[in-house]
Structure 1
Amino acid sequence: MSAEAAADLDLALRALADGNRRAILRVIRSGPQPVGVIAERVSLSQQTTSHHLGVLRKAGLAAATRDGTRHLFAVEVDGLAAVRSYLDDFWPAKLAALKSAIESRDSDDRG
């Protein structure tokens, strides 16, 4: 992993560490939403919501578009790809261990 990719991953993981930001991502994953709607759905002020959206944008996890005078925010799928790729590296070993444990248990049950 390049230094730039590692820095991007660190930003994304730091952004995801905050529960408010994860709640915001849940709201905007269904489609673009204005700050006011997001703030209402996550029970935060618009100012606080805007701050969290800024962190998510800087981390590459959210994107903003304009609709007239409104800014709409949506999940940036490409930003989540680095996080998913990092986490996916953990699954093969865990799945292999789970498979081994189940097979061992099954052979003990039949034995």
Structure 2
Amino acid sequence: MALSPVEVERQERCGRDRKATGEQRRCNHVYKRVLVKAIVCVKVGVMPAATTTPVVDLDAAFAALGDPVRRALVSRLAHGDATVGELAEPFDLTQQAISHHIGVLRRCGLVEQRREGTRRPCRLRTAQLAQLSTWIDEQRRAWHDRLDALEQHLSDEAAR
């Protein structure tokens, strides 16, 4: 059966060729999302990351760590994987509230949750924390350099 030109254009626009497998359609969808992100990055003037690992959104990560409960959850997960029930034990919070906090940490890339039968243990993504640590170390170095330069300038002024 022949398709009208309008239907052909619509299928090409949607990326859904009748012959395409489900995997090809998923790849097309991912490619379109990456392409849209790249276009947005070019328009905004920001270069997209060239790594294949998820990049931590620093603002979202620091905002998530601004909550004391989430910081405590990250500290607990630093000792090993735990389920939401295990994470909720030391707090006077419901499992639903802890799940919400885990969701925030998961969306900003600091925690991952996987399925093991009926359990869903959470794991801390240490590589993502390392990115935060790297940023903090860069800022610390820059401020130390600035303060050293200021100290040198003040001592030069006092010597005159």
Q: TM over 0.5: same fold? A: yes
Kindly state the Cα deviation for residue 76 of structure 1 after the two structures are TM-superposed. 0.8
Task: Report the counterpart of residue 107 of structure 1 in structure 2.
Answer: none
Kindly state the Cα deviation for residue 92 of structure 1 after the two structures are TM-superposed. 2.1
Kindly state the Cα deviation for residue 7 of structure 1 after the two structures are TM-superposed. 7.6
Match of 1:22 among 64, 67, 71: 71
| Distance (whole Å) between structure 1 residues aligned to residue 62 and residue 76 of structure 2 | 19
Kept in 2, the 8 Å contact 1:21–1:52? The answer is yes
Q: Which runs of 5+ in 1 are unaligned?
A: 102-111
Kindly state the Cα deviation for residue 94 of structure 1 after the two structures are TM-superposed. 5.0
| Distance (whole Å) between structure 2 residues aligned to residue 4 and residue 32 of structure 1 | 31
Task: Report the counterpart of residue 82 of structure 2 in structure 1.
Answer: 33
1:49 pairs with 2:107: no
Q: How does 1:1-111 map to 2 (within 5 A)?
A: 2=46, 8-95=57-144, 97=147
Kept in 2, the 8 Å contact 1:27–1:38? The answer is yes
Q: Specify the SS of the correspondent of 1:63.
A: strand
Kindly state the Cα deviation for residue 41 of structure 1 after the two structures are TM-superposed. 2.3
Normalization by structure 2: what TM-score?
0.54
| More strand, by proportion | 1
Larger radius of gyration: 2
Change (3 A) 1:49 1:40: same
Kept in 2, the 8 Å contact 1:39–1:45? The answer is yes
**Pairwise CA RMSD:** 2.5
Q: Which runs of 5+ in 2 are unaligned?
A: 1-45, 50-54, 152-160
Kept in 2, the 8 Å contact 1:27–1:41? The answer is no
1:10-69 per-position Cα deviation (integer Å, ceiling 9, x unaligned): 111111111110011111111110100100123321000000000000000001122210
Kept in 1, the 8 Å contact 2:61–2:109? The answer is yes
Normalization by structure 1: what TM-score?
0.75
**Relative contact order higher in (CA < 8 Å, ≥ 6 apart):** 1
Count residues with an aligned counterpart: 99
Kept in 2, the 8 Å contact 1:59–1:79? The answer is no
| More helix, by proportion | 1
